[in-house]
Amino acid sequence: MKYFISFALVAAAPFAAAQAPVYGQCGGQNWQGATTCVAGSVCTYSNAYYSQCLPGTATTAPSSTSTSSSATSSSTAHTIPFLGGVNTAGYDFSVATDGSFNGTGVDPPVSQYSHFAQEGVNLFRIPFAWQLMSPTLGGTISSTFFARYDATVQAALSSSSGTYVIIDLHNYARWNGAIISQGGPTDAQFASLWSQLAAKYASQPRIIFGIMNEPHDIPSLSTWAQSVQAAVTAIRAAGATTQYLLLPGSSYSSAATLPTEAGPYLLNVTDPVGGTSKLIFDVHKYLDSDNSGTHSECVTNNVDVLTTLVTWLKSNGNRQALLSETGGGNVASCETDLAQELAYLKSNSDNLVGFSIWSAGAFDSTYILSVVPNADGSDQPLWTTAVKPYLP
């Protein structure tokens, strides 16, 4: 929101802006604001749509930073392909942001998986409520619900030979209002769920474990990182040793706050199988005025946020992140902004390994961010214009 207001003011009076601040925009297609940076930073080209003021000087810091990043990139083995796809919601319906749940879930239409796969999608994220999968906290997962859920997962996996599926626990780091290991479920109860799911999918390498959807208002981020570690350790101990794991941050998995909030703690999460190449940061970023994903209009292309994120990832061992939720309404502003966001994402695929649009699945046609295909098989305008061109 702050970035959009700042952008609007600069755009309204372009000649009044003398220099852009550190991490501010300083160039790009149709940019009318400042093109020079305050002392101690340099206007650095990112892509045709965006240049940003990054710390350093023209003669030393930018070149050394670039060289360091390149060296790190060449020496780090990242094997995950670029992933582009869509959330298929339904099993998460009625999960509240306090982690409470009072529904039965709705099965996403399996026909959507073949539909989207034929267009080039290779990633589906399938959210579910913790209470559906495990009605008793720390207890055995429900065989009845797992059969429903797994049938959906298998339909998604079989939609193409290269499709990945994110198993997404959609409970906001909570169970019925209480935070994991901070007044709520213990780490052992949290890990128990993941241990059981990991055992079910241990032989399927194209499963990605989404450890938790959108943690928020977490009193102790260091404690949260320990809870994430408990889940990682349990997954590997259950025999799922080849799958990628998504590490969730804070502030609703905000891409903007990862570098300064949970990210420094999550950097300490270790993978029992060795290295960090299979530990990917899970980030979300919408394009509306308050980053809530509740408005049809878009006001930013998020390139500034993603550029800062890429800088942080590169400076911390050339790590990777996946944008597992983003999206907008079927309006002109979102067609423009989302396309620019995904173009930036794809051009920085060494560190931003993919995206998943919110949302298809069991939503009806009145949902404000719907990309559910029409009854005649045609797609929503946003999907056709802003998403499809940037699929893998």
Q: Give the whole-angstrom CA distance, residue 106 versus residue 111.
A: 14
CA 387, 94, 383: angle at the middle one, nearest 5? 10
Residues in the chain: 392
Residue type at position 37: C
Q: In the chain, count H helices and then E strands.
A: 11, 13
CA separation, residue 174 to residues 34, 139, 181, 189 (Å): 44, 16, 9, 12
Q: Is 382 helix (H, G, I), strand (E, B) or coil?
A: helix
Give the integer Cα–Cα distance in Å for 243 and 86. 19
Mark residue 12 as left, alpha or beta (left: phi above 0; alpha: psi -120 to 50; beta: remaining): alpha
- Per-residue b or e along 186-199, where b marks 16 or more CB atoms closer than 10 Å to that residue's CB: ebebbbbbbbbbbb
Instruction: Work out whether strand 123-128 and strand 50-55 pair parallel, antiparallel, or are unpaired.
Output: unpaired
Task: Say if residue 359 is preceded by a cis peptide, omega within 30 of 0.
Answer: yes
3-class secondary-structure state, position 41:
strand
Answer yes or no: are the C-beta atoms of 245 and 279 closer than 8 Å. yes
C-alpha closest to that of 277 among 234, 235, 319: 319
Active site residue ranges = 214, 325
Phi/psi of residue 385, nearest 5 degrees: -85, -45
Taking CA atoms, 212 is separated from 43, 172, 225, in Å, by 36, 7, 12
